[in-house]
Amino acid sequence: MSNSDIHHRESHGNHPMSLIAFGLLLIGAALSAMWLITLADLPANQTMNITYGVLALGCLVSTALIYRHLTSHLHHSPVMPDNTDAEIERYLAKVR
């Protein structure tokens, strides 16, 4: 009793962009640590300090924008899989 013209599989409730955002979050945290380390030696490493700060800010802002897009536009939780009763009913209505 499945619909043969469904072209994508839903094997779990995680959105692929959540994984990308999580990776950017980890990279942004590491770059923030590097920014803080180079802050201690500021006159000598001013260009590296600015570079780490801009990259860290870019990663963290990108993560926030991806999470905001997933939450507001796609109505998908960026952190938790959508394994609620409403999501199960939507999935069953789609594949029946």
The pLDDT tens digits of the residues spanning 1-57 come to 445 444 444 445 567 888 899 999 999 999 999 999 999 888 888 999 999 999 999
**pLDDT band with cut points at 50, 70 and 90 for residue 72:** confident
For the entire predicted model, the pTM comes to 0.66
Q: How far from 57 is each of 19, 30, 32, 50, CA to CA, in Å?
A: 19, 11, 8, 10
The encoded tokens of residue 14 equal 């995680």
In 3-state terms, what secondary structure has residue 6? coil
Read off the pLDDT band of 76 (50, 70, 90).
Answer: low
Residues 23 and 11: their CA atoms lie apart, in Å, by 21
d(CA 15, CA 67): 11
